[in-house]
């Protein structure tokens, strides 16, 4: 949530204000009347029951389907100065192409259809990946579509930043949060699963 306060009588500078939730405000002297309106009274379990810390050096998963590989390679080359600051992971062919093109180390999982998407999903579940750039093909069915769906589901369940197209990847990779530690909210789905099982 971002609050913008415009006051012609004062010059405001950027400053982050931390409340129960991570709120970024754009002024140095917070207006209590405004903050009281936006400050959550209590963390609801569906928002987050605990957090996981993402370090300054992010662990980035890079995946692309066949018809999107050139697009991902071009994007990665354009953003190589940013990517080289982080740890890179990729599925089989895509990981190899990025490693060769950027001359950067890329931890390679198996090819997507041979279990690579599932391996990356498992890495997300185990807290070993912080962010996923996945250029998937919207026009062609994949033999491992169920794995693709499972991978995207894991990214949502564990609330990691996810970009599935170039514009989203541009916004994500250029975020100022890429250069700092970040507390990612995690939801404990245990209670919900328990309630659903009782219904």
Exactly one of 7, 71, 74, 117 is catalytic; name it: 117
Distance of alpha carbon 89 from alpha carbon 49, whole angstroms: 28
Q: DSSP letters of 12-78? A: ---EEEE-SSEEEES-SS--HHHHHHHS-SS--TTT-SEEEEEPSS-EEEEEE-GGGHHHHHHHHHH
For 141, phi and psi rounded to 5 degrees? -70, 145
Q: Is 7 a catalytic residue?
A: no
Active site residues: 117
């Amino acid at each position: 949530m971002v609050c913008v306060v415009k006051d012609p009588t004062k010059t405001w500078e950027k400053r982050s204000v931390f409340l129960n939730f991570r709120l970024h405000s754009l002024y140095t002297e917070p207006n209590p009347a405004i903050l009281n309106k936006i400050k959550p009274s209590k963390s609801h379990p569906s928002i987050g029951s605990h957090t996981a810390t993402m370090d300054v050096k992010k662990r980035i998963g890079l995946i692309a389907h066949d018809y999107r590989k050139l697009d991902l390679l071009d994007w990665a080359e354009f953003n190589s100065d940013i990517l080289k600051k982080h740890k890179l992971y990729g599925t089989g062919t895509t990981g190899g192409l990025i490693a060769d093109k950027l001359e950067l180390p890329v931890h390679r999982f198996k090819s997507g259809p041979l279990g690579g998407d599932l391996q990356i999903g498992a890495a997300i579940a185990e807290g070993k990946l912080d962010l996923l750039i996945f250029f998937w093909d919207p026009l062609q069915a994949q033999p491992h579509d169920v794995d693709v769906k499972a991978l995207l589901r894991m990214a949502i369940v564990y609330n990691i930043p996810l970009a599935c197209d170039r514009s989203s990847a541009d916004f994500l990779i250029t975020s100022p949060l890429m250069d700092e530690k970040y507390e990612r909210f995690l939801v404990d789905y245990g209670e919900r699963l328990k309630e659903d099982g009782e219904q």
